[in-house]
Amino acid sequence: MAKKNLALGRGLGAILSEVGQAYENNLSDNSELVVELDIDSIKPNPYQPRKHFLHDSVHELSESILEHGLLQPILVYEDQNNDYILIAGERRLRASKLANLKTIKAIVANIDITKLREIALIENIQREDLNPIDLANSYRELIDDYKITHDELAKKIKKSRTQITNTMRLLNLPGEIQKLLLEEKITQGHAKMLLSLNNEEQKIALGSIIGQKLSVRDTEMLVKKIKTSDNIHKTSLKSQDKIISDQKIIKLKTLLKQYSILSFIKNNSLVLEFSDKSKIDEIIRKLSSE
């Protein structure tokens, strides 16, 4: 079957523009760029940034494809061996295979192979159903690859800097919590609440979130309670330390007074006043014997 290739250029800006062109207006069968390819002839993208695919989600998409057809084609390129390599649309490809389809709608792109990873990253970023952990990793990879700031990335992908920064903060969570987020056992809202706690506090809160199926609002209240309790505990410890410190100072002053030695506190230091040098030797002997 004759096919027309979509040429994708170099650079982050060009990739963004041209991937957008490829998907503009949810390309239909009438698009000159869309072809039908043997579904088994398409190889997976080795640079796929999306690491986790929920079975239920893929199954639902499969049923939708059976009922309504594939509304948005996948994006592939043809390598030197005339094999088709997936650039974007792995979830659609998996769902189509699950539906036992023999062919799939595709756009064949003529790309700079060195940009394959960036194209896959950007295509995934544009999708609303991408898991926040995969999204955060995609942001980080683009920032690292292009040596750009959060602000610069925000301008290029037309998202807010705050959204990018907050999403990337999820990567500071322990692996266990990131896994739960990937498996959708907790939401991004839950995860954001946990970021303000230390590791031990996170474990306590996580047990309640999972065990009691807490909402994000309930989790916010729980986190405030944990932090308040922690602050009270720290204040209590400081008070105890101060009492112990004060008791030691009183004891030392009493001892010094027995030897007619004047003392006072100045700038957190204990200052001693001796009437004669013999008093110094006397107090040293006494302290050494204690």
Residue with tokens 């800006």: 13
Reported confidence tier of residue 233, pLDDT bands at 50, 70, 90: very low
In this prediction, residues 237-250 reach a mean pLDDT of 57
- CB burial class (10 A; 0-12, 13-18, 19+) of residue 78? middle
Has residue 39 got a pLDDT over 70?
yes
C-alpha to C-alpha distances, 43 to 33, 47, 75, 88, 235, nearest whole angstrom: 20, 12, 12, 11, 60
119 near 12, Cβ under 8 Å? no
What region does 234 belong to: left with phi over 0, alpha with psi -120 to 50, or beta? Answer: alpha
Most trustworthy range by pLDDT among 55-59, 97-101, 261-265: 97-101
3-state secondary structure of 15: helix
More confident residue, 81 or 55: 81
Specify the pTM.
0.58
More confident residue, 217 or 260: 217
The pLDDT tens digits of the residues spanning 259-284 come to 656 665 555 566 666 666 666 677 66
Reported confidence tier of residue 29, pLDDT bands at 50, 70, 90: very low
More confident residue, 215 or 277: 215
Residues labelled as active-site residues: 90
Structural Rg of the chain based on CA atoms: 32
The neighbour count for residue 131, using CB atoms within 10 Å, is: 21
Element (H, E) at 8: strand 6-8
- Which residues 6+ apart lie within 8 Å of 42 measured at CB? 74, 76, 84, 85, 86, 93, 104, 106
In 3D, which of 198, 169, 197, 173 has the Cα closest to residue 186?
Answer: 173
The pLDDT tens digits of the residues spanning 157-194 come to 888 999 999 999 999 999 999 999 988 899 999 999 99
What was the pLDDT predicted at 242?
A: 53
Q: Which of 24-28, 142-146, 173-177, 262-266 has the lowest mean pLDDT?
A: 24-28
36 near 7, Cβ under 8 Å? no
Q: What is the dihedral of CA 170, 20, 50, 69, to 10 degrees?
A: 130
In this prediction, residues 121-143 reach a mean pLDDT of 81
* DSSP H helical ranges for the chain: 12-23, 55-68, 90-98, 116-125, 132-146, 150-157, 161-168, 175-182, 188-194, 199-211, 216-258, 277-289
Element (H, E) at 37: strand 34-38
Average predicted confidence (pLDDT) for the chain: 77
Q: What are the structural domains of the chain?
A: 1-128 (3.90.1530.10), 242-289 (no CATH)
3-state secondary structure string, 245-288?
Answer: HHHHHHHHHHHHHHCCCEEEEECCEEEEECCCHHHHHHHHHHHH
In 3D, which of 123, 124, 176, 117 has the Cα closest to residue 144?
Answer: 117
% of residues, the chain, pLDDT over 70:
62
Give the Cα separation of 97 and 92 in Å (integer). Answer: 9
In this prediction, residues 222-230 reach a mean pLDDT of 83
According to DSSP, the β-strands at 34-38 and 103-111 are antiparallel
Residue with tokens 């500071």: 172
What does the block give as tokens for 260? 């007619």
What was the pLDDT predicted at 28?
A: 43
Reported confidence tier of residue 26, pLDDT bands at 50, 70, 90: very low
Give the Cα separation of 193 and 186 in Å (integer). Answer: 11
